[in-house]
Amino acid sequence: MKTSISLYVFFLGLVLCSCSRNDNTSGKEDGSNDPASNVCTFDLGYHRTVLFNDKATPDLYQPVLDGIKASGARVVRLSVTGGKEAEVMNHILYCNKIGLKVTLCINAAGLPANCYEEGTSRSKGNEQWLFYQVYPISKIVPEKFDNWISDLLLMYKDGGCKLDALEMGNEIMWGAFNADLPITGGIIYDSSYKWQDFPLSVREGIKRAGEISIIAKTACRKVYWEYPPKVVFGSLNISASTQYYATSGGCIVRPETVIKIATANYPGMPAGSIDYIKEIDGIAIHFYPDVPYSVTYENMLNGSLDYLKWIMDGMVEYTDKPVYVTEFGFPYTDDGIASDWKRSARFKAFLDAMDRTYDKYHWAQVFIYSWDQGKYAAINPDDGSVLDMGKTVIKNYYYRGL
pLDDT of 188-218, one tens digit each? 999 999 999 999 999 999 999 999 999 999 9
pLDDT of 352-368, one tens digit each? 999 999 999 999 999 99
Task: Specify the fold of 41-399.
Answer: TIM Barrel (3.20.20)
160: left (phi over 0), alpha (psi -120 to 50) or beta: left
Q: Output the pLDDT for position 262.
A: 98
pLDDT of 145-186, one tens digit each? 999 999 999 999 999 999 999 999 999 999 999 999 988 899
Type and span of the H or E element at 364: strand 363-368
For 111-254, list the strands marked E by DSSP: 165-167, 188-189, 230-236, 252-253
Residues of the chain with pLDDT > 70, as a percent, come to: 90
Measured in whole angstroms, how far is the alpha carbon of residue 179 from the centre of its chain? 21
What ranges do the domains of the chain cover?
A: 41-399
- CA dist 113 → 144, 148, 173, 182, 248 (Å): 10, 11, 20, 20, 27
For the cut 60, the answer to whether the pLDDT of residue 141 exceeds it is: yes
Cα-based angle 155, 159, 163 (whole degrees, multiple of 5): 80
pTM of the model: 0.90
Q: Output the pLDDT for position 131.
A: 84
Compute the distance between CA of residue 262 and CA of residue 368 in angstroms, rounded to an integer. 26
